[in-house]
């Protein structure tokens, strides 16, 4: 069985930004992972080279992931009306 080839597709700034991007891609069916310099993680850096967190996806998902990110950055994605992650109005 061949090992997956992971491709860098996005640079986030800080662990939180990276975690949100990984979760966003995963929620849309794309396996993703992030890597950040350990000092940046320990000190919670979000700027400069130590604050950068690189997002990787399998090579086969590169185009779909880049398209999703482009749509997100352009504000073209919306939550469904029946989104259950928010509490119902009382």
For the domain that residue 53 is a member of, what is the CATH number?
A: 3.30.70.1530
Task: Decide the pairing of beta strands 52-58 and 33-36.
Answer: antiparallel
Q: Which domain holds residue 39?
A: 6-73
For residue 90, being part of any structural domain is answered with no
Number of independent structural domains in the chain = 1
For residue 80, being part of any structural domain is answered with no
- Matching residue, tokens 């992650």: 85
- Matching residue, tokens 């849309």: 28
Q: What is this structure's pTM? A: 0.78
Q: What is the reported pLDDT for 70?
A: 96
Residue 50, token pair as written in the block: 């130590």
pLDDT at 82 over 80: no
């Amino acid at each position: 069985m061949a090992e997956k080839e992971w491709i860098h597709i996005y640079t986030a700034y800080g662990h939180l930004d990276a975690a949100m991007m990984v979760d966003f891609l995963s929620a849309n069916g794309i396996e993703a992972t992030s890597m950040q310099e350990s000092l940046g993680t320990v000190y919670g850096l979000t700027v400069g080279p130590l604050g950068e967190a690189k997002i990787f996806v399998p090579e086969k998902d590169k185009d779909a992931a880049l398209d999703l990110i482009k749509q997100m950055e352009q504000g073209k994605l919306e939550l469904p009306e029946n989104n259950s992650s928010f509490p119902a109005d009382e």
